[in-house]
């Protein structure tokens, strides 16, 4: 059949009754379906109806045969199988992540803010509601002593002992440590957690995060202090 006849066949100006009078070529397939067109004089029996993965296999086979008739050497069956495997793996991945969220509870947070002049430790719930918040000034250190190494170490030991005395170890199943600042208390609190003071809570730590803020633009910094 010529191209003009094919164009007339699909032209919207031709009515449906006139369109059926035109002889359709054997290579044309009905739109929106994967079943090839069969004629009354075709001796080939129709393929058996399948469902599930069988229909996918028949679809792949029909695509492969049509590609071979058109002279293409590609294998759409491989492409379909790869797409099916990708969808199945994505489904299992999403299901596994959902199960992990249901099985593993959200962690508590231990925020350690270490400045040049003081050290602050705050224990929060998974929704970031504060349970306790203590600084070096609350345990008796004053003025320049609040920013010392010894003050931060004693503060960490005090917080860890309070967590145990108040029975919070039964509630804290998973703990995330959030460090901020580069004062002397950063190393002191780390030593306390790794030492004998933190033996009961050390096995609950699942993540250590550094939340130190970095300046990016903003206002002009104060001039550096010059001594002497």
Point out which residues pair with 122 in neighbouring strands. Answer: 111, 133
User: Is 219 a domain residue?
Assistant: no
Residue 133 counted as domain residue: yes
CB atoms near residue 154 (< 10 Å): 19
pTM of the predicted protein model? 0.55
Q: For the chain, what percent of residues have pLDDT higher than 70?
A: 60
Count how many residues are written for the chain.
228
> Which letter does DSSP use for residue 199 in this model?
T
Distances (CA, A) of 168 to 32, 33, 123, 155: 63, 64, 10, 18
User: What pLDDT is recorded for position 93?
Assistant: 77
Residue 65 lies in a domain: no
- Does the residue 69 lie in any domain? no
Q: Which two tokens stand for residue 21?
A: 């009078």
199 is a domain residue: yes
For 159-201, how does the pLDDT look when each residue is reduced to its tens digit (9 = 90+)? Answer: 999 999 999 999 999 999 999 999 999 999 999 999 999 999 9
What's the gap between Cα 100 and its chain centre? 12
In this structure, is residue 227 part of a structural domain? no
Q: Is residue 178 part of a domain?
A: yes
Count the domains in the chain.
Answer: 2
Give dist(CA 50, CA 73) in Å, integer: 26
Give every strand in the sheet of 175-180, ordered side by side: 130-135, 119-124, 108-114, 175-180, 205-210
User: Which domain does 20 fall in, by range?
Assistant: 1-37
Tell whether 29 and 115 lie within a shared domain: no
Query: What is the overall mean pLDDT for the chain?
Result: 78
pLDDT tens column, 102-131: 678 899 999 999 999 999 999 999 999 999
The answer to whether residues 134 and 113 touch, using CB atoms and an 8 Å cutoff, is no
The verdict on 33 and 113 lying in the same domain is no
Q: Answer yes or no: is 67 within a domain.
A: no
CA 154 – CA 156 distance, rounded (Å):
5
**Domain with 118 in it: what CATH number?**
3.30.420.80
**pLDDT tens for each residue of 59-77:** 556 656 665 665 555 555 5
């Amino acid at each position: 059949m010529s191209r003009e006849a094919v164009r007339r066949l699909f032209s919207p100006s031709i009515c449906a009754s006139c369109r059926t009078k035109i002889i359709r070529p054997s290579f044309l397939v009905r739109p929106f379906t994967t079943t090839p067109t069969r004629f009354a004089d075709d001796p080939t029996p129709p393929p058996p109806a399948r469902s599930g993965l069988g229909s996918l296999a028949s679809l792949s086979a029909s695509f492969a045969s049509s590609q071979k008739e058109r002279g293409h050497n590609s294998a759409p069956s491989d492409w379909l199988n790869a797409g099916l495997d990708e969808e199945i793996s994505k489904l299992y991945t999403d299901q596994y992540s959902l199960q992990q969220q249901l099985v593993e509870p959200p962690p508590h947070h231990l925020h350690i803010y270490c400045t040049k002049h003081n050290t602050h430790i705050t224990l929060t719930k998974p929704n970031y509601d504060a349970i306790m918040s203590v600084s070096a000034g609350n345990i008796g250190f004053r003025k320049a002593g609040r920013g010392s190494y010894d003050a931060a170490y004693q503060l960490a030991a005090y917080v860890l002992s309070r967590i145990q005395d108040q029975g919070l170890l039964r509630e804290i199943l998973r703990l995330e440590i959030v460090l901020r600042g580069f004062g002397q208390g950063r190393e002191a609190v780390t030593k306390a957690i790794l030492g004998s003071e933190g033996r009961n809570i050390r096995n609950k730590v699942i993540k250590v995060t550094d939340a130190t803020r970095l300046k990016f633009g903003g206002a002009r910094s104060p001039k550096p202090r010059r001594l002497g």
